[in-house]
Structure 1
Amino acid sequence: MPAIQPPLGVKTQAALPVRVPLVTQPMGVLASLRAARTNLLSIIPDIATRQPMVSGRTGKRWHMVMDPAALRRILLEKLDDYPKSDVTKNLLRPAIGESLFIAEGAHWRWQRRATAPAFSHRNVSNLAPVMTEAAGRTLDRLQAQQGRAVNMYDEMVATTFDVISEVTFSDDQGIDRGAVHDAIEQYIAEAGKVSLFDLFGLPDWVPRPGRLISGKAMKDTKSLADRAIEARAARQSTGVPDLLDLLLAGEDPDTGRRMNTAEMRDNLLTFIVAGHETTALALSWSLYLCAFDPAVQDEARAEAQRVLGGRTGFEADHIPKLGLIRRIVDEALRLYPPAALVSRTARQADELCGREIRPGDTVMVPIYALHRHHQLWEDPDAFRPDRWGDGGKIDRYAYLPFGDGPRICIGASFALQEAVLILATLLARFRFTSVKGRAPDPVMILTLRPEGGVWLEAEPV
């Protein structure tokens, strides 16, 4: 289903950035499956942007929840009663095992305690030079492509994978980083599509054809990661510790338990996938929005150049001074959240928004609809980075690009620092303009990607 496009030519206040046309009629099982395999967001009813909760049955009972108080109950107050759905686990377990993203209960808690120090403010700040150096290499690539339209989505994927591979495998010259990236991309493209077996809740030992296709590449990547972990553990690293060093040093402060190689590998692959995919998307959509609104882009460029001054690159302590650029990233994450729809399975009987929840019900959080809800946001489909700086109060559970509660994304501060530093670097040196007729199409399989790419012209300033 194609995105709704804004008018071409001179933009007016009525022009809106691209968005997904949400459905207005109920869909059956097969129609839902076809829609979900093409664009998962196309199963969200438009009424979800105007009601606190929408319920139905497609093979099994489901509920979409957009009410902040109910979301607080799901994500914080009753966390253990709403574990990640079987569909989510079936999609991701072959790639990342029982890592932080999938694990539940005590197994999740000890892993979270062991890995949390790696993402402390100090450790994340120490990685800022890696981020700005990767942004500098992107500037060089853009300089070499002057006069041609550039797919900035591809560029941002390359940039953020450059960052995550460097902070993961900085000392390991023998690692084929390209092979790791290709295997992950192949798995997401082929195995991430919702299967009819998933929709009906069949166990994950029942083979899914798409996941069989991509299985060998993922198996080879796991073996490669195992070798890297074992080789690093056998020698002494020097310099600023990277993510792999920090994970190897991590232990549960309550029990002293450390991760074995398989546990380390599954979490490492989780961080590699999440650590570059989500930030690449935030940057791609931010650049699209800057090209969509040249006035905002010009103001952000002036801010970046003022903060940069005569320096060669940004540092972590510059981030508080890059307020508008941070607001652009926040607004991009509101309009195009990478994890735009997440689901849970109710374990206990409950009540949400006055409606009965039965054990086994699927409870979905359509973050895309939540972020565009007419009762929670003014001009919900409009690009307005100023909404983040006007002193208005935004309900904590109306904005969930990284989730919330105990299971909030452990790498949120890493992703935000990376996005702000890279976007500031790009805007300080280039002016980005849209390419007529090549607007991106927001499509979600596992994440909300700009289908067709983000094609922009990049002109040095």
Structure 2
Amino acid sequence: MPIAPSDTGSEDQDLRYPARVPLNRKPMGVIASALTARRNVLELIPELAVRQPMVSGRTGARWHMVMDPGALARILKDRVDDYPKSLVTRLILEPAIGDSLFVAEGAHWRWQRRAAAPAFAQRNVEALAPVMTAAAEASAARLSRQAGKVADVHAETVTATFEVISDVTFSGDRGFDRDEVHKAIDRYISQTARVSVLDVLGLPAWVPRPGRLFAAGGVRDMKRIADQAIAEREITGPRPIPDLLDLLRAGHDPETGRAMNAAELRDNLLTFIVAGHETTALTLAWALYLLAFDPAAQDRAAAEARAALSGRAATAADLPRLGYIRQVIEESLRLYPPAAFLSRTAKARDELCGREIRPGDTVMMPIYALHRHQMLWDDPDAFDPDRFAPGVERDRFAFLPFGAGPRICIGASFALQEAVIILATLLDRLRFDLVPGLRPVPRMILTLRPQNGIFLRISER
């Protein structure tokens, strides 16, 4: 049974460590679990989950939290078809992104993945880098105007990454209203994506979830705007330098010859827009917080950026010389993985860590706990980018910010390239310092966001 957060949370407020989520220590029932999940999904994780390979229980239905790398490899790679996305995941995501890559299962997923794969080939990711460089330059300019002040860096990284994803998806389309889509996405994540009490009780999908019904207008707006932009592209034709819409329109499954129709294009593009800007924005915001928390690490990263850039914005060609900044990004993804809690429903009988898995069991993968597991990481709550230095070995399934196996995030290289380009550009020009009394609060609804932002003092270097 899930257990409730500590009354004091004193251990979790240890100021020697960056901000962290208080894990659960007291038993609670179905309703309390549902209310906790609506507030912060990560507060459902038992404290035992960072010390044991697997934790099981029952809250209406049987559930298992898995932190063992071998068992995770079995779920995500060896028997991936036996562990489809959970009902709760589908209920949250399908209204916005349909049966697209992130949600689809089996053959329907496989043909979409094969059709979309060329769009994310390394040559195409690198070809889109100038958009990232331009966004990094604009972000640095905006923050430079805040020099000497305290600013919400999360709000800024959201702006920067949304500029990137909208430009690489619908470059220059008049029919794509960026501001309206941005607002619709924010409404969707803050309202529609909350876990419902009805989800926890296991009620079927046809039972309406009131919160999602009330927020349906934002989802309709998002789809309408994307449909308009796709229809316009059918008339105007591809861009001289293909953007993501062009690449997906040209893509097809080499095995079946199938290509995406307009609705499938829309749903997949919205998947990339929602995930592509939200997750990278969070990674950058948490990275800036961690560097402010550790000034010595920030100085080291800034020196690397200055040696490579000398005042200009970073490009894809600079990436080989920005290795420590890449390590900072990876350590940020370890401590604050945007997709911090994954959930599957077992289809077949199995055994994980010596425990029976029955069809219908909920199998959860709390990536947040995996990345802070005491058996897998030294001093796991500490910020240490050198964990990711060249030559340092770790189990492949101990670090899963992008998942693993055949369903690993298709945009992982895109996101890492973008994050390094923007972070290096900012560190070359600006310094970020903590503000006493303004400690961020990690809170997961759909993604691991800083509740009420990340406020840092900005100064020029």
C-alpha separation between the residues in 2 aligned to 1:236 and 1:356? Answer: 54
Q: Is the 8 A contact 1:37 1:193 kept in 2?
A: yes
- 1:105 paired with 2:113, answer no
Structure 2 letter corresponding to 1:345: T
Q: What do the CA deviations read for 1:4-45 (whole angstroms, capped 9, x no partner)?
A: 3343xxxxxxx1111111011222111111111111000100
* Separation (CA, whole Å) in 2 of partners of 1:396 and 1:331: 15
Between 315-324 and 408-417, report the one with greater CA deviation: 315-324
Match of 1:91 in 2: 92
- TM alignment of 1:30-41, pairs within 5 A: 30-41=31-42
Q: TM-score, normalised by structure 2?
A: 0.96
Aligned equivalents of 2:183, 2:439: Cα separation in 1:
26
Question: Segments of 4+ in structure 1 off by > 3 A?
Answer: 1-7
3-state SS of paired residue (2:330): helix
Q: Match for residue 227 of structure 1?
A: 228
Following superposition, the deviation at residue 233 of structure 1 comes to 2.0
Matching residue of 2:414: 414
Give yes or no for the alignment of 1:379 onto 2:379: yes
Do the aligned partners of 2:175 and 2:232 also contact (CA within 8 Å) in 1?
Answer: no
Find the residue that maps to 2:449 and give its secondary structure: strand
Partner of 1:279: 280
Partner of 1:138: 139
Q: Distance in 2 between matches of 1:174 and 1:108?
A: 29
Q: Counterpart of 1:340?
A: 340
1:156 aligns with 2:157: yes
Q: What amino acid maps onto 2:146 in structure 1?
A: Q
Aligned to 1:12: none
Consecutive unaligned residues in structure 2, runs of 5 or more: none
Secondary structure of residue in 2 paired with 1:24:
strand
Deviations along 1:149-198, whole A, 9 cap, x unmatched? 00000000011001101111113023211101111110111111101111
What SS is found at the alignment partner of 1:102? coil
Shift of 1:200: 2.0
CA contact (8 A) 1:402 1:409 kept: yes
Q: Any idea what the Cα deviations from partners look like across 1:358-413, whole Å, max 9, x if unmatched?
A: 00000000000000000000010000101111633110000000000000000000
Q: Distance in 1 between matches of 2:77 and 2:238?
A: 38
The answer to whether the Cα contact below 8 Å between 2:239 and 2:246 also exists between their aligned partners in 1 is no
Q: CA RMSD in A?
A: 1.2
Residue in 2 aligned with 1:460?
A: 460
Q: For the residues of structure 2 that align with 1:220 and 1:454, how far apart are their CA atoms?
A: 29
Q: Post-superposition shift, 1:318?
A: 1.1
| Paired amino acid for 2:314 | F
Counterpart contact for 1:5–1:439, Cα < 8 Å: no
Provide the secondary structure at the position in 1 that maps to 2:126. helix
CA contact (8 A) 1:319 1:421 kept: yes
- Aligned equivalent of 1:241: 242
The residue number in structure 2 matching 1:193 is 194
Q: Is 207-216 or 69-78 further displaced after alignment?
A: 207-216
Matched, 1:397 2:397: yes
The structural deviation recorded for 1:132 is 1.1
Identity %: 62
CA contact (8 A) 2:175 2:225 kept: no
Aligned counterpart, 1:388: 388
- Give the equivalent residue in structure 1 for 2:115: 114
Normalised TM-score (structure 1): 0.96
Contact 2:176 2:228 in 1 (8 A): no
Q: Distance in 2 between matches of 1:28 and 1:392?
A: 42
Letter in 2 for 1:362: T
1:134-162 alpha-carbon deviations (Å, 9 max, x no partner)? 11111121122222200000000011001
Letter in 1 for 2:299: D
In structure 2, the residue matched to 1:10 is none
* Matched residue, 1:5: 13
SS in 1 for 2:109: helix
Secondary structure of 1:347 counterpart: coil
Contact 1:36–1:194 under 8 Å retained in 2: yes
